[in-house]
Every structure is written in C-alpha cells, then in structure tokens.
Amino acid sequence: MEIETIVPDAKAEIDHFLQTFPNGTIIIRGATATGKSKLSVLLSTFVPMEVISADSRQIFRLMDIWTDKISKEIRATLPHHQIDIVNPDETYTAGQRKQDSEQTVEQILGRGKIPFIVGGTGLYIDTIYKNFTMPKSAPNYSLRKQREEQELAQPWFLYEELMKIDPEEAQKHHPHSTRYLIRALEIYHTTGSNKTETFQQQPVKHPLLLLGLRREKEETNKRINARIKEMLKGWLIDEVQSLLERGYAPSLQSMQGIGYKEVIGYLQGTYDQEMMEELLKRNTHHLAKKQRTRFRRYIGEGKATPRENVRYKVWYLD
C-alpha cells in the first residue's frame, strides 16, 4: 500500500470527523520518510486546509536540504506555518511552539480552513495531542554552561542529580542525553517545580483526528538511504559549509542535530565522505526507530484508552 492508495480512505475519515467536529484539527504523524508531507499535499486537493509543521528542524532558516522542507512552490498555494521562523543561533522552546501552534490553529479556523499538523517530532505533537501545561521557564545559558562543564568533569552527574529531583523524568532519558537532562534541571531551578509536576495533561482544545503512517523498519531504512543519497547530490554539504561560513558555530543546538553534525565532522576532516554517509544513515535509522516506538504508544492509546474528543486511524504502508 502506497500513499496515493490511502487518499480516498483518508478523505473519508476526514469528512466523517468534520461532520461531527467542524472545528476539528487533523494531525498526520509518523517516522521520518513515511510520506507525511506527500499525504497532506494530496489531501489538499480535496480539503480546504493549511499546514502547521511539527518538525523540530524546519523552524530554522537556511537549513533547507536536510530538513526536507516542502518546496516554496507548494507553499505558495498551500500555506505552511512554523517553517523558517528563527535563525540557527536562536532558541525556540516547546512552550513557544505550543503557544504559537495554538494561535495558528485559531487563525486557520477563523479563515474557514482546516488546520493540519504534520510532522514527526513527538514532543511538538504532544503539546497539542496531550495539551501539556508548559513551564514559563526561559533558557538560562549560564546555568546550561555550568551544567555542561559539570557533566564533562563528572559523567552521569546530570542524570544522578535529576534522579534526586525528578526520578520519573530522569528515567525517560539516557544518562548521556545531556541537553534533555539540563532542560529538566533548568525547569526545576527556575520554577521550583520539577518537570513531572509541571507537565500535566489537559483535555484537547479542539477535537483531533490523529492519522498515523507506519512502515516496517526495512522499508523505512531503504527510503532513508535513498533520501540521503539524493540530499548529498542536492548540495547538502554546500549548505552546511555555507552555514559555517556565515559564522554559525558547530556547537549550536541546531548544528548538533542529525544531518548537520555528521557533515560538519566530514568538513572538519574527522572522517571521509564514505564514513559521513554511513553515519548519516545509521543515526537517521536510529531516529526513525525512536519515532516508531513513540508513535506505537499512540496506537495503543487509541485502542485501550482513547482520549476524549480524539479519533485515531493508522495505515500500515509497504
């Protein structure tokens, strides 16, 4: 089963949902390279819609090839939001994403269109699907630097500290997931409450139709490998080189994401192009595995404990 073959079924699901919930929101989620954007574009022929990207990297300007942004030609006729909104050296938190997404949903509904949230970043989807209360905690860069230095001097320091403060949150992360551990500690030290206490689920603001696309591991990895080869032909290395020449440091959070750190390693002479390509594949396969695991939980929730005013549908693709 390919994307084109599920369009009639998807349209029927959407029509049925909107008959009951005319102010509803559609989410298309799935792992990387499953065809989410393609499905949304195909459905736009039948549904008056605007798209909100749920991709953690498409927010950055100048980072186009690896993030696989929808073309400007398509965006000219099918409006897309949450793309190209900050520079690579700027911070954009999940709390900002939640606030901006909620405002954009209201604006799209006000124009008589249907909001489609499309992407694979689970946290961004959860800000709408689980409607977490979010901490009002701005980034504290001096605290982050201090914590990074402590972790370098004493590995597992961050994990052990978070275990004392918020064991439930700590157990969600690998002890080497420095960025996530620091953010959880930052929330505690700036708000006085730990992340588990702060992130509480609420009912959805608008009814949701949660559409899922799922491919088997082997097929997903094959599609990832083909996409990486095309990106390398399509000036990915030149794009990363340009970012470095513009003064964007390799240490930036945006530049440490998959796709950029591997190319930076090649440009700095850490390894050759063949090794760079293998690392791109391996790390993206690992990301897809994490996404499949996370979204599998949604399938389970849809069967066992569906959320109020949320409908679920998943397609298993070849």
Cα separation, 318 vs 316, in Å, equals 7
Residues 6+ positions from 224 with CB-CB distance below 8 Å:
32, 33, 281, 284, 285, 288
What pTM does this model have? Answer: 0.91
Contact status, residue 280 vs residue 271, Cβ threshold 8 Å: no
Mean pLDDT of the chain: 94
Cα separation, 53 vs 83, in Å, equals 7
Class of the 219-285 domain?
mainly alpha
| Span(s) in the chain for CATH 3.40.50.300 | 3-134+201-217+291-317
The yes-or-no verdict on residue 136 having pLDDT over 90 is no
pLDDT, tens digit, 9 for 90 and up, residues 280-301: 999 999 999 999 998 999 999 9
| Span(s) in the chain for CATH 1.10.287.890 | 219-285
CATH topology of domain 141-198: Histone, subunit A (1.10.20)
Cα separation, 129 vs 201, in Å, equals 9
Class of the 3-134+201-217+291-317 domain?
alpha beta
DSSP lists the bridge partners of residue 53 as 118
Residue 306 CB coordination number (10 Å): 12
Q: Using CB atoms within 10 A of its CB, is residue 295 exposed (0-12), middle (13-18) or buried (19+)? A: buried
The yes-or-no verdict on residue 231 having pLDDT over 90 is yes
Cα separation, 196 vs 165, in Å, equals 10
**For range 165-182, the mean pLDDT:** 90
pLDDT, tens digit, 9 for 90 and up, residues 25-43: 999 999 999 999 999 999 9
| Span(s) in the chain for CATH 1.10.20.140 | 141-198
Nearest to 41 by CA among 84, 15, 3: 3
Q: Where are the alpha helices (DSSP H) in the chain?
A: 3-20, 36-43, 72-77, 94-110, 122-129, 141-153, 157-165, 167-170, 178-191, 195-198, 217-233, 236-245, 261-267, 273-304
Q: Is 193 helix (H, G, I), strand (E, B) or coil?
A: coil
